[in-house]
Every structure is written in structure tokens, then in C-alpha cells.
Structure 1
Amino acid sequence: MDVKEKRNNEEEKPTYGLGLRHVQAALLFLGMVLAFAMRVNISMAIVAMTDSTKDNSFDWSIQKQSVILSSFFWGYILLQIPGGELAARFGGKILITLCVGINSATSLIIPIGSYYGGWQLVCACRVLQGLSQGFLFPCMHNLIGKWVPLEEKSRLGTLIYAGAQFGTATQLMVSGFIAEAWGWPAIFYVNGTLGAIWTAIYVFIGADSPQTSRMISEKERFYIQNSLGHVGVAKKLKTPWRSIWTSLSFISLIVVHCGHNWGFWTLMTEIPSYMSQVLGVDIKANGLMSALPYWAMYVMSFPLGYLADLVLRKKWLSITASRKLSNSIGHYGPAIALIGLSYAPAGNVTVAVALLTLVVGLNAGHYTGYLLVHIDMSPNFAGTLMGITNCFANVISIIAPLAAGAILQDETDPNEWRKVFYLSSAIYIICNTFYVIFGTSELQKWNEVSNDDEKDTEAEKKVERAV
């Protein structure tokens, strides 16, 4: 491209206004909303499903309930790494469509399956949902990398990923009312129907990239391509597996992702039970109060995203320091608040809910923390990196609710819950400290590695020394 053409392209860049990229971002946001709604709906539904005062309830022990709550992650971990590679090869559209579509169909099956197959069939359905959601984050990273210009990455990236908390909060809030009005099976029927509608819309409007979209204008396509450096034929790069697995910085990313998932998913799966058994809150109020922390996380994601962009724009901190600061807010903050929750007065709903809201709300720091470090380190292999860290982290998501179930011999005893909160607090602190010491957001040399370069061990050593 000559100088004159480059200057003309710069003049054509839109500085404001909506485009098809925003439509794609909105669809991906809604996809995240629905995926996480179907991921967490069992947390509220199981409270109603095991309510002995209801006619259509099940006599499932707390240990069986913990198995059901963790079973989603048995399937979820399997396709994380393949998901990143498949998204790179076939594009994110088909995989995200399968993800939401399969989850929707399975949600419609769960109510009938629970009656005829018991808790074992519910677990099987949850495993299938987890299996298909294994594509979710690798696909999102891939699609964001193709559709979102660098100038808009923090804003649109935060919007899309915050859909997870919007979906979580909305699901927890409305589930109690749905269960009271129409019974707990309606929770799954509503989710399944909405997911099917989204799938049909996305099939017609969604696209893997601006290059494959039939609806985007030439001007907007060129703007996105210019910003991302995708003009011309994309280079085919071989995944540098050896460089990835021998990078201490990347290993620290795995560790911090695992720490986040332990704390976050312990709270995600156990808050409704804590509200019901310790605080004595009925199911409608339970849903509202359980949702409040996730609304706080959703709302806090936007000012934290803006502040992260401001810090980088003003050059107050390096990108590595900025990510570590955001991540520390998202880990050390909840760790301290969890210790406070451990000593909240028994039965004091106001104090407990306030501290839970603080714990979960501060988790928003991870949106501009480790979650973006995958893209910082290697935009070419961001989906693969996300698949790897998410695979390990969701092994932890299986263990965390099982560990809580093992600790909670009497789930009405506040002292038992104190042990759960202390353990989560310690894991938050240890994992984030490891990341602060060894993590980096510097672009890695192996981001542009060729087949021959992968054999160049000397170059890899230089990169590691630089980090």
C-alpha cells in the first residue's frame, strides 16, 4: 500500500456512529447473556426442585446437588483447547451458533428428563450443555479479534463479556418469580425458547469476520481491516505449542484464571443455598438478593473499563501494570470482603448481602485484567490461549462446588460456611500474587512465529529474558 492510499484510508476512518460491527457486538452480548443464563439457571432451579413443601420436588441430598451443580464443567473443559483451534480454522460463527443452539435444546429437555431419569439424567444434560459451551470463550476471543477495531477493543470487548454478568443477574433475579408463578420447569422452558430465537437470528445476521459478511459497507470493512492490520491475505501461522507451554508468563495466566474461577464459581453455585439455609430468605427474595452481586459486577465493569483505557491513554502506567492493577482489584478486593463476610452477624441479611455484593462486584476487575492479557500477549493465538487457560480453570470449577459440598456437612451452620469463604479468600490471594510476580502483557515473539521459527530455541530464550 503506497503513502497516498494509506493517507486516504486514514481519512475514511469513521470517528463516530454505528455500524455492523456494533450489531455483531450486540448479538455476541446477547449470546453471552443467554449462554450464562442457561449455565446458572440450575443454581436457582435446584432450590425449588428440592423444596420438600412442593408436590413435584426431589429428595436429593446436598452431596447430590453439589454433583449436579458441578456436572456442567465436566463437559465444559473438554473442548476448550480444541475450541480455540476450531475457531481459528472454521471461524467463530458456526461454533457459537452450535453452542447456544445445543444449550437451548437441552434446556427444553431437562424438566422431562429430571422426572424420568432422575438426578443422573439432569447431570447428563448439564454435561452436554457444558460440552457445547466449551466453544464459548475461544469463539468470543476469535470474533472480537476479527470484528472489533483496536480503538474500540476495551469498550466493545467489555460490553460483550459483561453479558455474562447481565445474564447471570437477570437469570437469578427472575427465576424465583418464574418458579412461583409457573413452577420450576418454566425456568428451563423460557431459557430454551429465547436461545432458539437468538440462534435463528444469528444464523442470518452473524458473520465470522468483516471479510465474510454480506451486509457490511466497504467503508466500515476497510476501517476494521486497517485498524487490525488484516488488509490483504492473512498469514497462516502454525500454533507455537512449545513456546506457549514453556512461557512462565503464560503459566501465570493459567494460575490466575484458576484462582478467579475457584472464588467466582464457589459463590455462583452456592449463594442461593446460603441465602436459603443460613439467611432464611424465600425463593423470590432469594433470586433478587442472589442477583444483586452480579448486577453490581455488570455495572462496575464499565467504569473499570473506562479507567483502564484512561490510564493507558494518559500513559500513567504500562499496559502490563494496568492489567495487574485491574486484576488485583478483582482478586485482592473480593478476598478481603470474603473475610469480612465470614464474620458477618448470623442472620443479618443486610450486612451479608452488602458484603456478597462487594465480593462479586469487585470481580469486574478481571475484565480489564487477565481476560485481555491473552489478546495482549498474542492476538494471533488469543483463542487458543483462552482455550488452554479456560480448560484448566474449569477443572477448578468442577472441584470448587464439590469442595464446598464436602465442607458443608450442615449447610445451616454459619461456621461451616466460614470455612468455605476462608478457602476462597486464600486462593484468590495466592493465585493473583503469582500472576503479579510473573505475568506480562508484552507482545510475545512467538505471536508471529513461522514453522521454521518454532525451532529457533535461542529466540525464545531471548523473549523469556526480556519478560
Structure 2
Amino acid sequence: MACRYESVPKEINYTNEENSRKSDNAQNSGPRFGKRHQQILMCGFLSFLSSCVRSSMSIGIVAMNDPSASINPDVQTFNWTDKSAVLSCFFWGYMLPQLGSGWMAGRYGPKWILVGSTLICAISNFLLPTVAYSFGSRGIMVIRVLQGCTQGFVQPSLHGLYGKWLPLHERGRLGTIAVGGSTAGSVVITFTSGYLAASWYGWPMIFYLNSVLGVLWSLMFSYIGTNSPATHSSITQEEKNYIENSLPPANRTQLLSTPWKKILTSGSFLALLLAHCGFDWGSHILTTDIPIYFKNVMKFDIKSNGALSTLPLLVKWSMSFVFSFISDMLIMKGLCKIGTCRKIMHSIGSLAPCIVLIVLGNSGPEDAYKAVVLLMVTFGFLGANISGFLFNHLDLAPNHGAVLMGITSQFGTFCTAIGLTTVQYIVINEGDPNQWGIIFYVTAGIFIASAVIFNTFGSGEVQPWNNERMRTKNRRKKDNYI
């Protein structure tokens, strides 16, 4: 059946500044710890688990190929020469559903998409050790592609929830709690993986732990998760009004079609896309390959490897809260516009690490602890990007946040997969610091390019195509999840 569309009256095309004033005028935000905080904490926990799944293989694959890693001599290990290829497989799978998952979250609601994908990923984690024993690295590649595919539904779907649950002027702080869960997951799994791998149970326990946590989250969110404040059964009217009054009316009362052509030809969106690609290339290469770099270049044992690989991630997580506080303060006090604030934060998160990476590229085994400090500084600055480009999707088009995140995440993941595959061919000798130096120099160059493009063409204004066309008929369709 054909759907009828009509143009949106100009008076409902709110700018971000107008939305911020509407939020400031809200009489009551509801309980101090409200349902929006509950939902965001669950989102943060899912980001935590997703990062655990993604990062666990970084330490896990080191232990899987090190006969001395565990105190238990009966733990089976391997001698794989395709470790970087195994690490890249997650991102090839992650790339596949991104665009479709954003559209599905916008049409059917993100709740059950998140529950289903997390549960499938948890089951695959439970099966991973058995697959490794039976089929070797090729079997692990298949499992990691499957895990990446299920995880590819997560971030676009979470952005669909953020667009419904995050009041405009709380996006920096609450958004950092949600997105910061990803860094916290990397910190925890990287730190604990070294000790789990060295224990009597060996490396399989890393993946069994992820499996249990994934099942628990799926059960919890099935019970307390909702797609929007409008469908929450126990939210107070005050908190519901507080959240909805900060959003454009179309975001909570109308059904939208996706203006694909205008999205893909928008200069502001393309700048955001390239910023996301640059960040994903650099941050994921550093996060994923740090343990291999520390083991083969800096000669750290498995326990020290896990602990020291954690420090840069811990600094990134901590600094993300500092930068989010500064970002929200700049916006709320009117010291700069939202777009300007996003550019400042992205510049800090992209340009500052470049200097450190260039120095790191000239470091060798004799500079082991200097390398750890340099990586801590690099990751500390990377924490600014959460308040930079990462929520710019909702600035440009809060009605299409899930779709925009799906597009940028898909291309960003493609760049990550290309980057990790590139490491496989450049770093032929994993103990050669000069070959790792090439990776650091290339990463610095990509960070610089993404910062220049985003600062030149990026924007913080709601785009005209955000609510240009609306559905006014056929409201019985399943895409009305609000």
C-alpha cells in the first residue's frame, strides 16, 4: 500500500539551541535517579559487554599461542601464524549488518534486536574454545565473523534508544556513561584476561565469562528495557515530559521516511562519516594490537601484558568523563555552539595523539615503560572524541540517529578491518619496532586528515532533512514503536 507524505510545517523545525531552552524551562525532571538513568546504565552495560567480546581476542590469541601462558600444562595451545587475520575477522562481520540494523531499529524498535543479537553472541562465545580445538584458526575466524555480525546490530540500535531517552543538554554526561561502557569493557577484559589465561583454567575461561555476562544482560533487558519513554510502564509523567520536551516534536509523535539521498549528499554528514572512519581506524588498531606489540617488541609476559595494556584504556575511560563535563558546561553556559564544541573535542581527540604516536614510532625495547606512558597519553586524548563526533549523529538528525550511526559505523568498521589486515602485511616480523613504527605514522596521518575534514565541513545544527517528510497514514504498521 502506498504511503502518503506531507511537508513538515516550518514551526516544528527546532534548532539545537531552541531545544536546549525548552529543556531548561522544564519544571521537573522527575526522580533524581529516573528511568532514563536506568535505561542508559543498561545501555552502558551492553557497551561494556560488546567491548569485552571485541577486545577479549586481543589477549586471548596471545595466550592461545603461548604454551607457557597457563600454570596448567594440559591447556591446549596452538602455533598460528595468521593472528592479525583472526583479529580482523570480527570487524569484517561487524561491518555487514550496520546499515540494515539502523533502519530496522528505526522501524521496529531496538529492544528485541539488542536482546537477540546479544544472546546469539553469548552462545557463540561459549562454543569458541570447542571450535578452536576442532577447527583451529579457520574455525575461530568463522566464529569471530558471526560475533562481529551480531555486534553490528548493537551501536546503531543503541543510538535509536539514545535518540528517545537522552535529553539534549544531558547527552554529554549520560552519553559518556553509555558509550564509556565500551572503554570500561576494554579495560576490564584486558586486565582480567591476562590473569584468567595464566590461571589453571587457561584462556577458555575468558570466553566462558563473556558468555555468562551476555546471557544475564539479555534476561535483564528483556524485563526492564523499553524503546522509548512513551512505552515505559512506570516512568513518572514529570520525567516523561522532561525528556520529550527537549526533543523535536516530530521525534516523538510522527513516523518518518528516511531521506537517503539527502543524507548521503550532505556535507555535514559526510564530514561526520570521515571523522568516524578516521577514529575507528586509529583507535581499534591501537586497542587490538597493543597486546601483540607489548609481547613481541616490549617483551612483557602474559600477566604484565594484560595489566599494562589496561592502563591506556583506563586513562581513556577516565578522561572521557572530564571531557564530557567540559563539553556540557561549554554548551549549557552558552560559551560556544554545539557544532563548535564538537569540533574542539574532536580536534583534541585526534590531533593531540598524533604527536605522541610519532614519538612512539621511534621507540624500541629499551623504551618499554616509556611506550606505556605514551600510549596512556594517546588514549587519554582519544577520550575527548566521545563528546566530539560520536554524538554528532543526534545533533544533525535526532529522528534518524540510528540510521546515521549505522552508515558511519559500517564505513568505520570497514576501515578498521582494512587497517587490521594492513597490519598483517606490514608487520611481518612482530618483534621489529620499525615495522610497528610504520603503523603508528600512518595512524597519525589518518587522525590529522579526519580532524581537518571535520573542522572544515562539520556542523552541530539540525539538518533540514531531519523531518522533511512524515508519514501521516497507516499508523498500524510495526514501525510505530514509540
Same-fold status (TM-score > 0.5): yes
Question: Structure 1 residues 451, 217: closer, same or farther in 2, change over 3 A?
Answer: closer
Aligned pairs for 1:59-78 (under 5 A) are 59-61=79-81, 64-78=82-96
State the 1:88 CA deviation.
Answer: 0.7
> 2:227 maps to which residue?
208
Indicate conservation of the 8 Å contact 1:43/1:272, yes or no.
yes
> 1:83 maps to which residue?
101
- Verify: 1:39 aligned to 2:54, yes or no: yes
Indicate conservation of the 8 Å contact 1:52/1:59, yes or no.
no
2:358 partner letter? I
State the 1:12 CA deviation.
Answer: 4.6
Aligned pairs for 1:438-457 (under 5 A) are 438-450=457-469
- Verify: 1:367 aligned to 2:386, yes or no: yes
1:211 partner letter? A
Aligned pairs for 1:428-443 (under 5 A) are 428-443=447-462
Higher relative helix content: 1
> 2:120 maps to which residue?
102
Q: In the aligned structure 2, how far is the partner of 1:438 from the partner of 1:389?
A: 16
Aligned pairs for 1:219-238 (under 5 A) are 219-230=238-249, 234-238=253-257
**Cα shift readout 1:148-196 (whole Å, capped 9, x = no counterpart):** 2223222111110000000011000000111111200000001101111
> 2:182 maps to which residue?
164
State the 1:222 CA deviation.
Answer: 2.7
Q: In the aligned structure 2, how far is the partner of 1:423 from the partner of 1:25?
A: 36
Q: TM-score, normalised by structure 1?
A: 0.91
Q: In the aligned structure 2, how far is the partner of 1:248 from the partner of 1:210?
A: 32
1:329 partner letter? I
Q: In the aligned structure 1, how far is the partner of 2:252 from the partner of 2:221?
A: 26
Q: In the aligned structure 2, how far is the partner of 1:127 from the partner of 1:288?
A: 27
Q: Which runs of 4+ in 1 moved over 6 A?
A: none
Q: In the aligned structure 1, how far is the partner of 2:293 from the partner of 2:145?
A: 25
State the 1:142 CA deviation.
Answer: 0.8
Q: In the aligned structure 1, how far is the partner of 2:55 from the partner of 2:119?
A: 17
Q: In the aligned structure 2, how far is the partner of 1:430 from the partner of 1:27?
A: 35
Indicate conservation of the 8 Å contact 1:49/1:184, yes or no.
yes
Q: In the aligned structure 2, how far is the partner of 1:232 from the partner of 1:98?
A: 25
State the 1:234 CA deviation.
Answer: 1.6
1:60 partner letter? W
1:123 partner letter? M
Indicate conservation of the 8 Å contact 1:319/1:441, yes or no.
yes
Over aligned residues, Cα RMSD in angstroms?
Answer: 1.9
Segments of 5+ residues of structure 1 without an aligned counterpart are: 1-6, 453-467
Q: TM-score, normalised by structure 2?
A: 0.89
Secondary structure of the residue aligned to 2:400 is helix
**Cα shift readout 1:418-438 (whole Å, capped 9, x = no counterpart):** 111111111111122112111
- Verify: 1:152 aligned to 2:170, yes or no: yes
Segments of 5+ residues of structure 2 without an aligned counterpart are: 1-21, 472-482
- Verify: 1:322 aligned to 2:336, yes or no: no
**Cα shift readout 1:270-296 (whole Å, capped 9, x = no counterpart):** 100111001110111110110111111
Q: Which of 339, 361, 367 in structure 2 is aligned with 1:342?
A: 361
Percent identity of equivalent pairs: 36
Task: Report the count of equivalent residues.
Answer: 443
Q: Answer 1 or 2: higher relative contact order, Cα 8 Å, separation at least 6.
A: 2
1:326 partner letter? M
State the 1:50 CA deviation.
Answer: 0.7
Q: Which of 115, 135, 144 in structure 1 is aligned with 2:153?
A: 135
1:164 partner letter? S
- Verify: 1:261 aligned to 2:280, yes or no: yes
Aligned pairs for 1:290-305 (under 5 A) are 290-305=309-324
State the 1:10 CA deviation.
Answer: 6.0
